Amino acid sequence: MSRGQGPTTTGRAVLFALPAVFPVVAVLGVSLAAAVLQSLGLMPFIGPPSFSVEAWTGNTGELVRATGLSLNIAATATVLSVCIGFLIAAYVLASPRMGWIVGALSAATIPIPHLIGAGAIGLLLSDSGFLERVLGMPAAFPALVGGPWWIAAITEYAWKESAFVALVVLGSIARSVGDLCDAAATLGATARQRVFRVVLPLAMPSLAVSALIVFVYTLGSYEPVWLLGPTSPEPLPVRAVRLFGSVDLTARPEAMASALVSVAVGAGVILIGILVVRRSREFR
């Protein structure tokens, strides 16, 4: 079954592709086109259509601030997820018995939805939450939930996504890394050297790809930032959903503009990510 054996095989492959490609193109196309039209006032929920760029130009400062905040949260969460995820993967590979427990526990958190994860982190980190009680209710306990640094929301992303990163890394290198680590150990490499000189370079491609996925997911994720962040300033998803659900139906175009900005930023990040991954020699 090789690639493109002839016109018949290619024709059949096109028939295979259609049922998968058509729904994606239809849903994405209709959704993005409708969002653009709504942001320009050409497809109003009620009333006659009237062209306006007010949703894009009316409150540019807030839109830019929301974009910056979303990028910040996503970048911090991605860096933490990748570092902790790699540590989990390296630990699972380095210690057979305890590593198995860590790997199984970490994988068990993956099916937990982000909304439940956000609730759990809220119970843990909020004022007089579990952590503050364990620490003996110190007076100087910082505002982690709803505080200015988005710590609870970023922790939730890092908690959920580090398990995802570990799973991807383990899945991609578990088979090949054993022999190489054994060889390095025979040649006298210490555990630290094996982790940073053998496991890390092998894991780089899967780390890069999972970092890209985590970043884009975090950028467009709504529940944790809505539940655990302060009410102001708002990241893009929270702003878009708030305006979308507003009783004022004229806020819809602004909601669509926020949604489209997050789509554009996500697509831009993916394009840059793919280019960077392709350019660097390590990933070839």
Partner 1 sequence: MRVIAGLLLVLWIVLPVVPVLLWSVAVQWAAPAVLPPSYSLQSFSALAATDTVRAAGASSLLGVGVATVATPLGYLGALAIQRLPRVPARLVELTLLAPLAIPPFALVMGINVAFLRFYLLPSVGVVLVLAVTALPYTAFMFRSALATYDSRFEEVARSLRNLVANGPPCPGAPARWCNRPGILPRVPGGLGRLHRHAAYRRGAVADASHAAGVRCVGYRE
Q: Using the rule CB under 8 A, is 167 a contact of partner 1?
A: no
Sketch the per residue contact string, 101 through 140, with partner 1: x for CB under 8 A, - otherwise: xx--xx--x------xx-xxx-xx---xxxx-xx--x---
- Told to check if 256 binds partner 1 by CB under 8 A, we report yes
Please report whether residue 259 would count as binding partner 1 according to CB under 8 A: yes
| Rg for the chain, CA atoms, rounded | 23
Site string for partner 1, 45-84 (x = CB under 8 A): x--------------------------------------x
Q: Is 228 in the site for partner 1 (CB under 8 A)?
A: no
Six token digits for residue 218:
């975090």
Interatomic CA distance for residues 229 and 70, integer angstroms: 12
Three-state SS at 95: coil
Residue carrying structure tokens 């467009």: 220
196's tokens: 């940073």
Applying CB under 8 A, which part among 21-29, 53-61, 198-206, 227-235 lies near partner 1? Answer: 21-29
Quick one: tokens of 195?
């982790």
Contact call for residue 91 and partner 1 (CB under 8 A):
yes
Of 198 and 254, nearer to partner 1 (C-beta) is 254
Q: What is the DSSP letter of 195?
A: I
Which residues within the stretch 177-206 sit at the binding site for partner 1 (CB under 8 A)?
191
263 binds partner 1 (CB under 8 A): yes
Structure tokens of 226?
Answer: 């809505």
Distance between CA atoms of residues 276 and 153, nearest Å:
28
